[in-house]
Structure 1
Amino acid sequence: MSLLTHVLACLFGMGSWVAINGMWVELPLVVPEIPEGWYLPSYLTVLIQMANIGPLFITLMHRFHPGVLDERPVIYCIVGLGIVATFLLAFFWRQTMAIGGSLHSVPLLVLTFLLSVVDCTSSVTFLPFMMRLRPQYLTTYFAGEGLSGLVPALVALIQGVGVVHCQNATLTVVANQTADNATVVGSGELQAIYQPALFSAEVFFVFLSVMMVVCLVAFILLNHHPSVAHERNNDLYFSGDPTPGKREQGLSLQDQTQEQKPMISPQVSTRKAKSSFGMGTYSNLEVVFIFVVLAWVNALTNAILPSVQSYSCLPYGNKAYHLAATLAAVANPVACFIAMFLPVRSLYFMGFLTMFGTGFGAYIMAMAALSPCPLLVHSASGTAVIVLVWVLFVLSLSYVKVTIGVILRDEGHSALVWCGAVVQLGSMLGAVSMFPLVSVYGLFRSGDACNTKCPM
């Protein structure tokens, strides 16, 4: 394996969702400066789901005109669009326009929609492109995809986004006969004061544009660097649906290690009815199970639980919120590295790990529902538990996502296209289900990092 190819695959994967992830972590600085205020996250959720028109078009093209659409020109277009859109954000995100008698951040919303199209479409183009490389590099790509959330979060932490200090909201000076005896009486109410950022949102958006440039350079080198050429697979992967004879040739045992084969014994595979999906390794029921798990896991990790993260963590304090967000972002690439060295493709194990992660997700949802007074809210153990649960939740389900990606990679090019489509479908269903609960009906109440008062 080539270290250069691993690095390039990782940098390529980082460009998949870095723009939208960066927008989310920068919200505390953006929101106070725009007329939409804290309604902006709701708008972002809607824009991201509207952007699924990109993945829908790509998926339909592969379904009805297989082999016609080449991902490479599409990737060049969307990454280029991402570079331009993030760069323009640095100059126009504050600009407003009057619509219907009120001001709206039209440039910000339009550019965010374009970035959403870029990132959503990457799910159905970046993954199929990785079919051109050996299977080992797909796990590295997933590690880079995980870093697309971690790197902006770390930069935002350095920037000082969301750092809060509590101080008395109202102070009254009570003067005695002499100035030396003056006393200060506080009301007892604390006010959350956000510290000024180390650098501006404009600089952060330029950083995101640079990250997209890095993604483009990595993609160019993956296509044209001489040392990467030795890591490419046979072109039979990309010429539509190969004949059975060519399938065997394209997936020769010389190109697959023992760990890369599905963990199914020959006796079992001969007895069960094979499906027409991919290489026919799995039965129809197993294919449905894989895609249901994939949609469920992405709904949880990309939409349902992130929408209540603040409700589940802020009652324990601002520190708990930042630790949970940062360490959970670290857990994603860690899960990818674990999957690289300890690959387990058993569907039974995948189902168990999905239930395991879902259990942690249920605890997080319960704490969000109990906000602003969740369990152990006044204790250090409560803070430790909520941070640990968030890490284990992301770690377990990220491993499941990587495992499914590697399984579908062995099933062929079209399987990875459907993988990306189901990822977006699951994320969309999760977002659509949570949007009314959070933004319309207001079923969750936010905790105050400075004034939460709960019974001991």
Structure 2
Amino acid sequence: MSLFTHVLACLFGTGSWVSINGMWVELPLIVPEIPEGWYLPSYLSVIIQMANIGPLFVTLMHRFRPGVLNEVAVIYFIISLGTLASFLLAFFWKVTLNVAGFPHSVPLLLLTFFLSLVDCTSSVTFLPFMMRLKPQYLTSYFIGEGLSGLIPAVVALIQGVGILHCSNHTVMANETLDNSTTMYKFEAQYLPANFSTHTFFLFLSTMMVVCLLAFLFLNLHPAVRQQHETDRHHGRMGEGEKGTLVLKQHRQPEEKPMISPFNGNNKKTCSFFRTGTYGWIEVLFIFSVLGWTNALTNTVLPSVQSYSCMPYGNNAYHWSVTMAAVANPLACLIAVFYPKRSLKLMGFLTLLGTGIGAYIMGMAVLSPCPLFIQNHTGAVFIVGAWFFFVLTLSYVKVIIGIILRDEGHSALVWCGAVVQLGSILGAFAMFPIVSVYRLFTSGDPCNTVCSK
């Protein structure tokens, strides 16, 4: 194994979702400067789901026209597109255009769509590309994917995004002949950032350039190509009859659909994967867990994170965001030393993570008066809940990725498709609840309205 290849795989993974993650953490600095204001997150949710046209196209091409789509060329294209879109955002994110008589941040929304297209499509292209490398490097890729959320969050903390202080503000003054009454209320005031949004977007563009360079080395560097499993997965053994035989033996399964209705050796067992290790019930369980965990971690719980944390104060919110970002790569590191593929363990961790997620959702529903709001216990619980929620379900997702890695290129393509499907269903479920009917109430970090 090559440390150089591990580092490249990690850097390659950082480009998977860094652009959209960066956009979310930068929102407190963006929304005061644009006409959409705090309606921007709702726009972003819709735009991200529209961008799923990318993975849908790749999945359908792989299913109905296998071998036609050049996977490497697609990756080059989407990384270059993400780099260009991030660079242009640095200069045009504040530009507005009149649409139907009202100002709108058209360049921001359009470039965000391209960033979403890049990140969504990475789910069905980056993972299958990792099939070219030995299985050990897949975990390094997942670590990089986790860092794609952690790095922008840390940079945003250094930037000072969302740091506020509470100051007295006069809300009412009554004067009579005998006396006068003045009422005060604490008002949250955000402090200036240490560097501009322009600089932050240039940083995101630089990270995409690093991802592009890492992919170039993974694809072309001679030392890295020695780590490719071309013999096993692509049949490129050289010339002559031996190479032709291997080509036929190993390419043929990938030209067929991943799902085969029956196993020829045992009619009672359905074999969905090429190894025949898992029956159809187990495969259904694996993909159901994959879709469920991604729905929870990518859209359902993140859509209520501010509601679950802000009643406990601004520090609790920022610590929950940071610790959740730390938990993702930490889960990948745990999978390096403990790659347990037990479906029973996977089911237990999924139930555990879902239970923790239910606690987080409960605190969001109770906002602005969740449990333990009058002391520091509540803040500790909510930060710990976010950490262990992401840690357990991220470990489940990594283990599923490792399982599907051994089942071939098609399995990883479908893995990416199910990841996006789970995210879409979660977004469709939460968008009307949060943004249309507005069933959640935000907490005020400076004013506690709950009685003891």
Q: TM-score, normalised by structure 2?
A: 0.91
Cα distance in 1 for residues equivalent to 2:267 and 2:168:
72
Amino acid at match of 1:14: T
Contact 1:331-1:391 within 8 A present in 2 as well: yes
Matches within 5 A, 1:333-352: 333-352=329-348
CA RMSD of aligned residues (A): 2.4
Matches within 5 A, 1:56-455: 56-170=56-170, 187-238=183-234, 246=249, 273-455=269-451
Cα distance in 2 for residues equivalent to 1:66 and 1:246:
16
Give the secondary structure class of the aligned counterpart of 1:281: coil
Deviation of the 1:281 alpha carbon: 1.7
Cα distance in 1 for residues equivalent to 2:325 and 2:266:
42
Deviation of the 1:409 alpha carbon: 0.5
Cα distance in 2 for residues equivalent to 1:245 and 1:78:
31
1:427–1:238: structure 2 CA closer, same or farther, 3 Å change rule?
farther
Contact 1:272-1:283 within 8 A present in 2 as well: no
Cα distance in 1 for residues equivalent to 2:182 and 2:149:
41
1:80–1:186: structure 2 CA closer, same or farther, 3 Å change rule?
farther
Cα distance in 1 for residues equivalent to 2:123 and 2:88:
24
Task: Could you list the structure 1 runs, at least 4 aligned residues long, displaced by more than 6 angstroms after superposition.
Answer: 242-245, 269-272
Cα distance in 2 for residues equivalent to 1:140 and 1:66:
28
1:452–1:124: structure 2 CA closer, same or farther, 3 Å change rule?
same
Give the secondary structure class of the aligned counterpart of 2:184: coil
Deviation of the 1:271 alpha carbon: 10
Give CA-to-partner distance per residue, 1:279-316, whole Å, 9 cap, x none: 32210111111000000000000000000000000000
Give the secondary structure class of the aligned counterpart of 1:55: helix
Cα distance in 2 for residues equivalent to 1:404 and 1:84:
33
Deviation of the 1:186 alpha carbon: 6.6
Give CA-to-partner distance per residue, 1:96-130, whole Å, 9 cap, x none: 00011100000000000000000000000000000
Cα distance in 2 for residues equivalent to 1:152 and 1:77:
23
Amino acid at match of 1:395: L
Give the secondary structure class of the aligned counterpart of 1:196: coil
Cα distance in 1 for residues equivalent to 2:277 and 2:62:
21
Cα distance in 2 for residues equivalent to 1:41 and 1:213:
26
Amino acid at match of 1:162: G
Cα distance in 2 for residues equivalent to 1:172 and 1:443:
29
Cα distance in 1 for residues equivalent to 2:140 and 2:207:
17
Q: Does 1:10 align with 2:10?
A: yes
Deviation of the 1:68 alpha carbon: 2.4
How many percent identity over aligned positions?
67
Amino acid at match of 2:77: C
**How many pairs were matched up?**
428
Cα distance in 2 for residues equivalent to 1:239 and 1:202:
47
Contact 1:132-1:235 within 8 A present in 2 as well: no
Deviation of the 1:156 alpha carbon: 0.3
Which stretches in structure 1 are left out of the alignment for 5+ residues?
Answer: 174-184, 251-268
Cα distance in 1 for residues equivalent to 2:170 and 2:395:
49
Q: TM-score, normalised by structure 1?
A: 0.90
Give CA-to-partner distance per residue, 1:177-208, whole Å, 9 cap, x none: xxxxxxxx973300000000000000000000
Q: Does 1:21 align with 2:21?
A: yes
Cα distance in 2 for residues equivalent to 1:239 and 1:44:
43
Deviation of the 1:230 alpha carbon: 1.7
Give the secondary structure class of the aligned counterpart of 1:189: strand
Contact 2:290-2:400 within 8 A present in 1 as well: yes
Cα distance in 2 for residues equivalent to 1:146 and 1:211:
14
Contact 2:364-2:440 within 8 A present in 1 as well: yes
